[in-house]
Amino acid sequence: MGRGGGSARRTPEPYLWLLFSGGGVVAALLLPMLVLLFGVLMPLGVVAWPTAEHLRALLDGVLVRVGLVVVVVLCLFHAAHRIRHTSEELFGIARFDPLIALLCYGGAVAGGVVAAALMVEMS
């Protein structure tokens, strides 16, 4: 017998909840700042818009690019998890959970791959 005392089937659910909560933290900490900067302060002229050269210089660092990919992936998994569970509850379609999970998390993985490819292309 294993540590659990039985032969319980393992599910990826705890890891999905971990990605959901990590994405929620990232979204709560970073997105309001980005909305304030790019949606309010820069259009009003309070803060100058960054130049293309400045943005390229920011992306020169490998850690910055990896960090951006992590932020994008966490936010995508947060959204995927929220869409999955909300749509199942709201529309009463929990019987299609495997398909909904595949679409939601598959979309998050695809978005993460695109983000990583863009960061590699910029190097």
Instruction: Map out the domains of the chain with their CATH numbers.
Output: 13-121 (1.20.1300.10)
pTM: 0.81
- Tell me which residue has tokens 């909305």: 35
Q: Is the pLDDT of residue 97 over 50?
A: yes
What lies within 8 Å, CB to CB, of 101 at 6+ separation is 84
Integer Cα distance of 123 and 118 in angstroms = 9
**Torsion sign, CA atoms 71, 74, 77, 83:** negative
Residue 25 reports pLDDT greater than 90: yes
How far apart are the two ends of the chain, measured CA to CA in Å? 50
The pLDDT score that the predictor gives to residue 63 is 94
pLDDT of 28 reads 94
CA angle 37, 25, 46 (to 5 degrees): 10
- Determine what percent of the chain is predicted with pLDDT higher than 70: 94
What φ, ψ does residue 9 adopt, rounded to 5°? Answer: -75, 130
Buried b (16+ CB within 10 A) or exposed e, 34-62: eeeeeeeeeeeeeeeeeeeeeeeeeeeee
Structure tokens, 4: 């659990």
Establish how many alpha carbons lie within 13 A of residue 35's alpha carbon, considering only the half-sphere containing its beta carbon. Answer: 6
Average model confidence (pLDDT) for the chain?
Answer: 91
